């Protein structure tokens, strides 16, 4: 297991070392999720926030629909709240 030490600032911020950022494939400005996985052992899990647009084009569909037509259909058929 690789460990990294960091300090919590007065503003409750932490700095992630470059090596950790590279290992996790995180980019500057990217949002992350810190999950408390074991309260007793005080363990956190770090994961990037998944962006819906990251999967755009990766899902195969049987009958592709033009996005402009899909938007127009949505505006015609669904009531705005």
Tokens linked to 19: 């090596």
Mean of per-residue pLDDT scores for the chain: 88
What is the distance between the alpha carbons of residues 33 and 48, in angstroms, rounded to a whole number?
6
Phi, psi of 69 (to 5 degrees): -65, -40
| pLDDT at 43 exceeding the cut of 80 | yes
Going along the chain from its start, the domains and CATH numbers come out as 18-77 (2.10.260)
Please compute the mean of the pLDDT values over residues 6-18 and round it to a whole number. Answer: 94
Please compute the mean of the pLDDT values over residues 73-77 and round it to a whole number. Answer: 92
Full-model pTM: 0.53
């Amino acid at each position: 297991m690789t460990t990294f030490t960091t300090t919590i600032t007065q503003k409750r911020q932490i700095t992630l070392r470059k090596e950790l950022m590279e290992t996790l494939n995180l980019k500057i400005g990217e949002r992350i999720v810190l999950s408390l996985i074991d309260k007793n052992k005080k363990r956190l899990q770090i994961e990037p926030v998944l962006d819906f647009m990251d999967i755009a084009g990766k899902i195969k569909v049987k009958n592709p629909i033009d996005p402009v037509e899909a938007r127009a259909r949505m505006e015609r058929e669904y009531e705005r709240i």
